[in-house]
Amino acid sequence: MSEAHSEQLLSEVAALPALPGVYRYFDAQGQLLYVGKARNLKKRVSSYFQKDHGGTRIGHMVGRIVRMETTVVRSEAEALLLENNLIKTLQPRFNILFRDDKSYPYLKITGTRETFRTAARLPSPSVAFPRMAYYRGVVDRRHSYYGPYPSAWAVKESITLLQKVFKLRTCEDTVFTNRTRPCLLYQIKRCSGPCVDHITTEDYARDVQDAERFLRGETQTVLQGLEQRMLAHSERLEFEQAAEIRNQISALSRVLHQQSMDTTTDQDVDVLAVRVQGGRACVNLAMVRGGRHLGDRPYFPAHVDDASAIEDLLSEAPAASDPVERTALRVLEAFIAQHYIGTAVPTVLVTSHAVSRELLDALGEQLGTKVNAVHNPREHRRVWLELAQKNADIALARLLAEEGSQQARTRALADALHLPDDQLEALRIECFDISHTAGESTQASCVVFEGHKMQNSQYRRYKIEGITPGDDYAAMRQVLQRRYGRIAQALRAEAGEAVEAAAVPTEDDDAPAEAAPEPTPDTAAAPTGPRMPDLVLIDGGKGQVGVAREVFAQLDLDLASIVGVEKGQGRKVGLEELVFADGRAKVYLGHDSAALMLVAQIRDEAHRFAITGMRAQRAKVRTGGSRLEDIPGVGPKKRARLLQRFGGVRGVASASVEDLATVEGISPELADAIYRALH
């Protein structure tokens, strides 16, 4: 294998120091292939080039290495942290990768960090009465945040729970300050009505403090405090107040009994279970916060097989050990290293496999706290882990079934349309749809299907202008010209350069051409140059396909790639026919055809994407074509004052220039600009 590499690369490998560090491999195009760490750089890197790996995945990767970079660090722990930071940032082709999704939702209680120390001197009632809210974003130190929660549903369920027990408000400040009578939540006993002074600031502050204790897991303290308050009211013969607190105790007790996963011994714990099957893996993360089990979330890493092949080459584990278990442990450690770097980690991790102490110490060193992992837990922790393992099994089975179904649909469509079936991973389909309301706010959408799934990061919307309202043919002509005009031009330029290069001989013409790297699914999915899709789906019949044929003929593109989806008799689902631009006869695939299911899936996604864009554009036009934030001179503070004064965007839009100018900070010139922007 070493014979295929340059002398310069091999000399760099031979000159590496016997120190801890991180190494990175690159191919001829400069793409990062792999990032690894080593206790001894010289020994670890040399092991890649000392064997003939044949046609294996590791051989494929090693054969593409043309350049190497290394970074020496002080310890193996530092190398571990640097390795996973680079993996998260650079996403190399042959490493186990987890999608960097740190946007967990939180439960937010506003202003509690400062409110109660100065409650008597607070100028704003909305600040004196903190609100609960679902929150996702940057943390503000003035507020309290609880979580993270695994899903939005878990946050909203907790908010409903706190409404039932502690009756905290959830309304926006602009609504709160403009209320003259209590809302429906007060009527159904989900809010104490602070907006109309149905509760004092002190009593509301006590409810907020109890809610925060409950979220921290101090349930017994909350119950004891409520019981003491109830007895105190009873001794003073204040039976109505005592009955209210009794109802709170009953509601809180019901909640605690319903949550069978509660515990008073654990506060914040993450439970991690991993399953590997069929070349895919699933890590199920279950969250326990404040002693309450909040639910779980599955994660599916990429490149498990490629990374496992490389690690098996370098592994010091006995050959007799189970390869599935080795892969599961690697996936789990990769998840912990990538997920918790730069993120708060609970004091205890309950894991399905024994994680290395080195990894935990490295995390603790970075986070400034000790991280403990428990393997083979007991009692309630064992119940948590068994549940996480069961959910990992279910999530992985569902993923494999969905992927198998999608691959079968892709193959069925390729067979029905006589497309090559040797590179189905690289099959790219783009679908277009036009949406408008009686000609208003016309939008065109383009959605992309590739790698057996929808690629929503590549979706595009096109605002259609300069046409007769309602002319779908003109809209389709415009979007196709805008989408493929530049690609066609680039393809012609590339073809011209190739012809010119072939016509002009050079001194190196007799030299053999450098072999192109073997295509892989990932490289095919992310081409470096312009690429036409293999199939262009048009949501429409002969008329729409005729327009597409004209555009492609003008651009000198392949007409065989255009396929129209014509609705069947009565526009019934399952009766659609495929219309071709190159003169082929219509094709009816059958209502139960897997190919038609894929076509309908892509067509429906294009329709959905177009409608949402059209509705957003229409709403923007009908409300004046601009949000307050988009008006020059209107920042967050002025926006807040306007909304508070007029009760919302509609109130601002209906206000006159003179009324707008009465708001603090709004000059007559700015008031005129706001009025014109909203009208």
Give residue-wise pLDDT tens across range 463-498: 888 888 888 899 999 999 999 988 888 887 777 755
Tell whether 264 is covered by a domain. Answer: no
Burial of 122 (C-beta count, 10 Å sphere; 0-12/13-18/19+): middle
CA distance 333 to 338: 9
Judgement on whether residues 39 and 55 belong to the same structural domain of the protein: yes
Tell whether 354 is covered by a domain. Answer: yes
User: Among 621, 644, 664, which residue terminates a domain?
Assistant: 621
CA distance 489 to 482: 12
User: Among 578, 606, 621, which residue terminates a domain?
Assistant: 621
pLDDT at 351 (0 to 100): 93
Judgement on whether residues 429 and 472 belong to the same structural domain of the protein: yes
- Which CATH number is 647's domain given? 1.10.150.20
Burial of 569 (C-beta count, 10 Å sphere; 0-12/13-18/19+): exposed
User: Among 258, 278, 306, which residue terminates a domain?
Assistant: 258
Burial of 202 (C-beta count, 10 Å sphere; 0-12/13-18/19+): exposed
Q: What is the domain range of residue 67? A: 2-76
Judgement on whether residues 203 and 274 belong to the same structural domain of the protein: no
Judgement on whether residues 465 and 566 belong to the same structural domain of the protein: yes
Judgement on whether residues 386 and 434 belong to the same structural domain of the protein: no
Burial of 335 (C-beta count, 10 Å sphere; 0-12/13-18/19+): buried
pLDDT at 618 (0 to 100): 65
CA distance 360 to 367: 10
pLDDT at 528 (0 to 100): 42
Judgement on whether residues 199 and 344 belong to the same structural domain of the protein: no
In which residue are the tokens 């009794």 written? 246
Judgement on whether residues 463 and 591 belong to the same structural domain of the protein: yes
pLDDT at 313 (0 to 100): 62
Burial of 192 (C-beta count, 10 Å sphere; 0-12/13-18/19+): buried
Tell whether 207 is covered by a domain. Answer: yes
Judgement on whether residues 211 and 110 belong to the same structural domain of the protein: yes
pTM of the model: 0.61
Tell whether 90 is covered by a domain. Answer: no
pLDDT at 315 (0 to 100): 60
Judgement on whether residues 630 and 616 belong to the same structural domain of the protein: no
pLDDT at 570 (0 to 100): 62
CA distance 454 to 451: 8
Tell whether 410 is covered by a domain. Answer: no
Query: Can you list the alpha helix ranges (DSSP code H) found in 236-290?
Result: 239-258
- Which CATH number is 552's domain given? 3.30.420.340
Tell whether 205 is covered by a domain. Answer: yes
Task: Please identify every stretch of the chain with a pLDDT value under 70, giving residue numbers as ranges.
Answer: 1-4, 51-57, 99-103, 112-126, 248, 251-266, 312-321, 342, 497-530, 570-571, 573-574, 618-627, 629-630
pLDDT at 83 (0 to 100): 87
Domain count, the chain: 5
pLDDT at 629 (0 to 100): 66
Tell whether 97 is covered by a domain. Answer: no
What's the alpha-carbon Rg for the chain, to the nearest Å?
31
pLDDT at 615 (0 to 100): 77
- Which CATH number is 39's domain given? 3.40.1440.10
Residue 173 Cα distances to 385, 641, 654, angstroms? 42, 11, 21
Judgement on whether residues 292 and 361 belong to the same structural domain of the protein: yes
pLDDT at 418 (0 to 100): 83
Structure-token pair, residue 83: 């390795």
Tell whether 512 is covered by a domain. Answer: no
pLDDT at 55 (0 to 100): 62
pLDDT at 101 (0 to 100): 57
Judgement on whether residues 558 and 431 belong to the same structural domain of the protein: yes
pLDDT at 22 (0 to 100): 92
Judgement on whether residues 115 and 226 belong to the same structural domain of the protein: yes
pLDDT at 507 (0 to 100): 40
pLDDT at 480 (0 to 100): 93
